[in-house]
Chains A and B, each alone.
Chain A
């Protein structure tokens, strides 16, 4: 029994070492990849303002719709029971 437990402890130490070595290897690999291929901002989407000026909308339609739906779900009200009149961007 004692021999088996000692063998199990040895296996555990060996296995934990292997796991740490492998995952450390992966850390370096990831860091290398991230350094090699840095993140680049995707090209900015064409401004909605142009469309807004032609259609006469405020350009916040999508945001207003999303916020209205979220608020309606949160407050337990119907979307037509309240109105968003102003959105301020910071």
Chain B
């Protein structure tokens, strides 16, 4: 092989990323840097936006083989966890391990607020269909209104994988903007007197009820909507680790290290799907706008239902807690507390808002289950072996070699 100076220099120049850099890559690097900026300096969901932004940056470096579509690449391997619906349910298990159902069990009617807030999902579904998306795509976009990142990713990867990146970015961006989006809507839909309503202290709940609740919910909900089992089942398992009192190590691992590792992998995977081809499209702008509407309608739905409950309870329920029905745990509950205290500094709504807040998680999971029942293939699973073949290659020769070695050892 001949190596002249000019030839070698030319070869090195052509092997750099600069030789393959396109305009779309540069724009996406700008988007990645914006996400990183928002995460670090504006503190917008930093645990997610930082790895997501960096994943996006890596994916858009030409020849780096870090995009989710680059077979054999590192992030392509991580992305299998999204494709095969592994990462979102495990994150849900961690969320379950961190969730206290006490406020919900003490005031179970607040579950209705979690249901009412799902109106955001369905108004967005109608809006998305109106804007030209098909029903599956519209369902995946609509679930942004559930304000639940893992659920959004779960449904998008199942019903509209080509829209995963913009849906994930919209969901997490708006979740981080809950303190900015919700207060004006809350002030618009409630009066000063309503915001000042003080709620009675929650009654304590037996530990046995707290242990039975996740088991009962799993049986009831997963029998009715099997499509929701991966999310809700893992969510309740995490909560059972917490409440059972006999799995302290599992509980601690689930709510800390496991959820952190899965968050890194999920955020990097989603970031790696944000390539110019998949992101720089007119659909992305539509999804961003629809996502904002979804959050707005979800908040309004919860508040209006909260007002109804206030009326029927004889003024015992502060309608502000309805806005916490949008999931986004615990940020939405904190916003309720803040808006309530703005009206009356001696009003403490946080624990009351945690009820609808966790009800929102269940509600959005049920909404996802309905979508899977309607548009997905319930009772079927992805052929993991076939899907992983492009990544790990044909496992047959390896298996044969292993069998030969085993035979040799036996002899």
**Chain A contacts to B: CB under 8 angstroms:** 1, 4-5, 7-9, 11-12, 14-16, 18-20, 22-27, 29-31, 33-34, 37-40
Contact = CB atoms under 8 A, between A and B. Distances in A.
Contact of B206 (A5, A12, A37): A37
Contacts of B387: none
B105 A34 contact: yes
Nearest to B101: A30
A22 B225 contact: yes
A27 B130 contact: no
B304 to A, nearest CB: 13
Contacts of A14: 370
26 contacts: A1-B132, A5-B126, A8-B126, A8-B130, A12-B125, A14-B370, A15-B371, A15-B374, A18-B370, A19-B363, A19-B367, A20-B112, A20-B115, A22-B220, A22-B221, A23-B366, A29-B216, A30-B111, A30-B209, A33-B105, A33-B209, A33-B212, A33-B213, A34-B206, A34-B209, A37-B206
Contacts of B132: 1
Given A14-B370, A30-B209, 9 more contacts: A1-B132, A15-B121, A16-B119, A18-B366, A19-B363, A23-B114, A30-B105, A33-B209, A37-B209
Given A23-B115, A26-B111, A29-B220, A8 B129 contact: yes
Given A4-B129, A4-B135, A40-B206, A30 B367 contact: no
Contact of B205 (A15, A29, A39): A39
The prevalent SS among residues of B at the interface is helix
Contacts of B392: none
Interface string B79-107: 00000000000000000000000001100
B65 to A, nearest CB: 40
A38 to B, nearest CB: 6
B24 interface: no
B402 interface: no
B313 to A, nearest CB: 14
B208 interface: yes
Contacts of A23: 111-112, 114-115, 359, 362-363, 366
Nearest to B104: A30
Interface string B173-216: 00000000000000000000000000000011110110011001
B138 A8 contact: yes
B267 to A, nearest CB: 28
A10 B208 CA distance: 40
A12 B127 CA distance: 11
B26 interface: no
Contact of A30 (B119, B204, B208, B213): B213
B117 to A, nearest CB: 10
A19 B115 CA distance: 6
A11 to B, nearest CB: 6
Contacts of A25: 220
The 6 closest A-B pairs by CB, nearest first: A12-B122, A30-B108, A8-B129, A23-B111, A15-B370, A23-B115
A29 B114 CA distance: 16
B410 to A, nearest CB: 55
Contacts of B128: 8
A76 to B, nearest CB: 22
B109 interface: yes
Contacts of B27: none
B217 interface: yes
B109 A27 contact: yes
Interface string B213-256: 10011001100110000000000000000000000000000000
A5 B366 contact: no
Contacts of B225: 18, 22
Contacts of B204: 39
B118 interface: yes
A29 B108 CA distance: 9
